[in-house]
Amino acid sequence: MDKETEIKLRVSPAAITSLREHPLLNRRRTGEWHTGTLYNQYYDTAERDLALARVALRVRRDGEQYIQTLKSKGQSVAGLSERNEWDWPTDGPGLDLTLLDDSCWPASLATLDKLLLQPVFTTDFQRTKALLNWEHEGQPVQVEVALDQGQVLADGRAEPICEFELELRSGPVVALLELATSLSADIALIPCDISKAERGYRLYDPASYELQLPAHPWSEQTTVDEVVAAAGWQLLGHTQRLAEQYRFSGQWRLFRELVARLVDLRAFFSVFDLGVPRSSTQRFTPRLDSLLAEYRPLVLAGWADDEDGRRAREKAPELFDGTQNDPAWGQLFLGLALWLHTGAWKQERPPRGDRVGALTLPRWLLAAVAREIQELRVPHQNDDDRDVELWLAQQPRLQRLGFLLGSFRQFLALPQVDHLYGELNKLQALLEQYPLVDDEVRPALLLALRKQGQKVRRLDAWRELNR
């Protein structure tokens, strides 16, 4: 068994040529580029038992050689995946069941009749590969770089493959992330958290692609620094999975959810006080703000069941494709993966930041939520129309509260905290509508905002936090 560590990136056909000629790769390349065609037959039962057990089984033909491979699904975030892999050279294209013994076969499939395994889909592609060698802080690094172009074929349906993979043979993972981040400076590299096997299963069932990482087991002993790391990976993983599935299916609800996660990610950078200094996030926040400035107006307009709403929903795929084909997308999300992997927010922060990072989750959360609530300008019955701009300016604060309460409110020992979360969400929704409605509707909306502010202020949780 080997542990496979790689970064998988979706690219355009034009980028394949640019990468093969890229000076950074060629400076580190040992030997020539080699090109060959790989034919891969995947196996499962009719009920997809292997997929449910999170493993993939294939037989690959590479030239005259056949290799049978079993892979665990592992974990993939921002294109970076780690998983266990078993490879066996075989004499032909058929499946050798004798190799699938207890040393590799999942315990959850112990009672499965392996005679039920059958061909389910193929992935056939041309691979151009080379070895890279360099040193990272005095440590030797070896990486296999692969440029893949071809297609997945399943049940009469096809999906193209156009990917750039960096597989770590030796050295630290950070070297792999740094290489990918450097290459993203001038080439559009899109982190891709879906394997070729998952593409085949998705052609059968689009819902088989999991959008979320497993939930993190938060506890009262979790520190702020642990929250930053785990919540950051969760948001990054969920964002990339939503982006991939929206690209595949074009479903409007996925675009809306993607934008909601980008809003959470923006709020994430602003809630930890000196625990996450602004200086450590300045490379991310302007790009996120730029994305949200393009995406959120479409989401808000797209709620309307009229011609403007239809146009917004139709415009979203074109806008999404344009931003994905800009190198800034890869720079943002690969850079964030590197930031999380290295714990960069802890570097050069002041001593007070270290103290914040060491706080436990409940203690930090109460102070963070109280600070936002006490500074929140909620609509009041005595406010006049001139105060609307003050209300609208509260949206970033409401987004931060949405992230804090949506993620961790179970750790707040407050009455009616779920109710507070719900009523603040309603207030945010009303504020988002205001710029979209015409003058005839605005008086009714202003009245609704004042009533909603009154509901919020009456809650016991609000009063507790404003003491």
Give this prediction's pTM.
0.93
Q: How far is CA 285 from CA 72, 169, 290, 332, in A?
A: 35, 33, 9, 9
Strands 118-136 and 29-44: antiparallel
- pLDDT in the model for residue 387: 83
What number of other Cβ atoms are within 10 A of residue 113's Cβ?
A: 9
Amino acid (one-letter) located at 95: L
Provide the Cα torsion 437, 302, 289, 19; round to 10°. Answer: -160
Which are the contacts of 339, defined by CB distance < 8 A and separation ≥ 6?
232, 280, 284, 345
Where helices occur in 250-377 by DSSP H, the ranges are 252-268, 285-302, 307-324, 327-342, 351-358, 361-375
Q: What distance in Å separates the CA atoms of residue 34 and residue 129, rounded to the nearest whole number?
A: 5
Residues in the chain: 467
Our CA dihedral for 327, 331, 332, 337, rounded to 10 degrees, sits at 140
- Asked if 16 contacts 164 with a C-beta cutoff of 8 angstroms, the reply is yes
- pLDDT for position 1: 62
Question: How far, in Å, are 45, 122, 283, 288, 382 from residue 269 at the CA level?
Answer: 45, 42, 11, 10, 34
pLDDT at 398: 97
* Residue 436, pLDDT score: 86
**In whole angstroms, what is the distance from residue 425 CA to residue 264 CA?**
13
pLDDT of residue 227: 98
pLDDT of residue 323: 95
How confident is the prediction along the chain (467 residues), in pLDDT tens digits per residue?
678 899 999 999 999 999 999 999 999 999 999 999 999 999 999 999 999 998 999 999 999 999 999 998 766 676 777 788 999 999 999 999 999 999 999 999 999 999 999 999 999 999 999 999 999 999 999 999 999 999 999 988 999 999 999 999 999 999 999 999 999 999 999 999 889 999 999 998 888 888 888 888 999 999 999 999 999 999 999 999 999 999 999 999 999 999 999 999 999 999 999 999 999 999 999 999 999 999 999 999 999 888 989 999 999 999 999 999 999 999 999 999 999 999 999 998 999 999 999 999 999 999 999 999 999 999 988 877 778 888 999 999 999 999 999 999 999 999 999 999 999 999 999 999 988 888 888 889 999 999 999 999 999 999 999 98
* Whether the Cβ atoms of residue 411 and residue 362 lie closer than 8 Å to each other: yes
Cα 177 vs. chain centroid, distance in angstroms? 15
